[in-house]
């Protein structure tokens, strides 16, 4: 548990400028991971940095409301699960494990009005899974390490 830092300037700068910008930048790195340097691991680390910055300055009691540790444990499992499901689903369409070319996602081309291969969409699905898993795991590490520390200070 991190205590709330007592400075109006710090709160304003962090809440209005830094955390939203870091979030947006993390989403940019995730979405453009197919066209430029980036991807799930990097975007997860960047967004986790934004969440940890919020916990450091606003305190765990305030910032932890948006992303409680319980939810993050679920999210970490779901992220790994997305990857696993993306690997298992092609098995039912006569392809190998993790062969995205047989993923049944081509209907999404009609919805989004673009032309992408199933393998490109498989890559993106996997990146989202990695993103969610890395993001939640890093924040879980921070939460549990600081919780232990605070417990020892109280004794």
Residues near another protein (CB under 8 A): 33-41, 73, 76-77, 79-80, 83-84, 87, 97-98, 100-101, 116-117, 119-120, 122-123, 126-127, 129-130, 133-134, 136-138, 140-141, 144-145, 147-148, 151, 155
14/138 with CB nearer another protein? 138
Q: Which is nearer to another protein, 5 or 148 (CB)?
A: 148
- If the CB atoms of residues 7 and 117 are measured against another protein, the closer one turns out to be 117
| Alpha-carbon separation of residue 65 from 49, 77, 108 (angstroms) | 17, 20, 34
d(CA 11, CA 5): 8
CB of 103 to another protein, least distance (A): 11
Rounded to a whole number of angstroms, the minimum distance from the CB of residue 84 to another protein is 7
DSSP notation for 55-82 = HHHH-HHHHTTTS-HHHHHHHHHHHHHH
Tell me how far, at minimum, the Cβ of 63 lies from another protein, in Å: 19
Identify which of residues 21 and 97 has a Cβ nearer to another protein in the complex: 97
The distance of closest approach from Cβ of residue 105 to another protein in the complex, given in angstroms and rounded to an integer, is 13
* Euclidean distance between CA atoms 13 and 15, whole angstroms: 6
Non-local CB neighbours of 66 within 8 Å, separated by 6+ positions: 54
Name residue, tokens 């993050």: 72
| 8 A C-beta contact, residue 132 and residue 73 | no
């Amino acid at each position: 548990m991190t205590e709330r830092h007592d400075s109006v300037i710090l709160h304003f700068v962090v809440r209005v400028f830094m955390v939203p910008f870091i979030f947006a930048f993390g989403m940019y790195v995730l979405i453009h991971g197919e066209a430029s340097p980036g991807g799930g691991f990097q975007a997860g680390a960047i967004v986790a940095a934004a969440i940890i910055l919020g916990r450091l300055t606003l305190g765990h009691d305030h910032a932890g409301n948006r992303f409680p540790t319980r939810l993050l444990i679920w999210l970490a499992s779901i992220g790994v699960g997305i990857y696993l499901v993306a690997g298992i689903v092609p098995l039912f369409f006569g392809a190998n494990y993790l062969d995205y070319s047989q993923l049944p996602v081509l209907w999404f081309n009609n919805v989004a009005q673009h032309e992408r291969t199933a393998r490109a969409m498989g890559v993106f699905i996997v990146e989202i899974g990695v993103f969610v898993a890395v993001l939640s795991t890093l924040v879980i590490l921070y939460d549990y390490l600081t919780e232990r520390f605070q417990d020892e200070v109280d004794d």
